Amino acid sequence: MRTVVFDLDGTLADTSGDLIAAANVCFAEMGAPDLLDPVADAGVALRGGRAMLTLGLGRLGRAEDSAEIDRHYPLLLEAYADAIAVHTTLYPGAMAAVERLSADGYSVAICTNKPERLARLLMQRLGVLDAFAALTGADTLAVRKPDPEHLRETVRRAGGDPVRSLLVGDTATDRDTARAAGVPSVLVGFGPNGGSVADLAPEAVIGHYDELRDVVTRLIG
């Protein structure tokens, strides 16, 4: 079966606001509340919790304090889980595109470097988890993106054939994962990192989810 696999953060949903809020819980404990800005730092937020902690500690002159990052990372995850869908929104047309692909016979799945528990919790809170045949996270397997086995196993769990798949994402990690797996990547041009994704030379860039079905047809039939 042909399979379309989606990244989550920055691809299906703008999760940056809730991620920034969770990171700021950690910085408040350090005496520096609201250190990260939900707009200006959105791109860093979509690179994950450790990236946000590194950025904030750098602003405090402690960029090399890896022990502080390790100490606060569990607190960040706890704060994020407690308020995971306060500011998060699905990108316009995302679920309509997913539903159309499913109706046309494609299997659809999520492959994210977010911990699986948090990814499932978020999709449940957004009411869309059941739209996907499979979901794998950073800790589902012994490997994670950009290792191609993360993508391939996601496809298998969705009932698909890894060689007849593609990955929709928003970063170099997604592009590299698809390339290592020998399948096409489609990057979205509407997230915080959207202005630079064309420079990554994916097989396609979309400016809105309305464009996805035609791109998928062209790339994997």
Identity of the residue numbered 87: H
| pLDDT tens digits along 48-84 | 999 999 999 999 999 888 999 999 999 999 999 999 9
Print burial letters for 69-84: b (CB count within 10 Å at least 16), e (below 16). Answer: beebbebbbebbeeeb
CB-based burial, 192-213: b 16+ in 10 Å, e otherwise: bbbeebeebebbbbbeebebbb
Residue 63 confidence (pLDDT): 81
Q: What is the pLDDT of residues 94-108, one digit of tens each?
A: 999 999 999 999 999
Query: Which residues are catalytic, by number?
Result: 7
Percent of the chain surpassing pLDDT 70: 100
| Token duo for residue 192 | 């915080």
Give the span between the Cα atoms of 12 and 89, in whole angstroms: 9
| pLDDT over threshold 80, residue 30 | yes
Q: What is the pLDDT of residue 194?
A: 78
Q: Which amino acid is at 154?
A: T
| Residue among 88, 86, 78 at smallest CA distance from 45 | 88
- Give the model's pLDDT for residue 93: 98
pLDDT at 20 over 90: yes
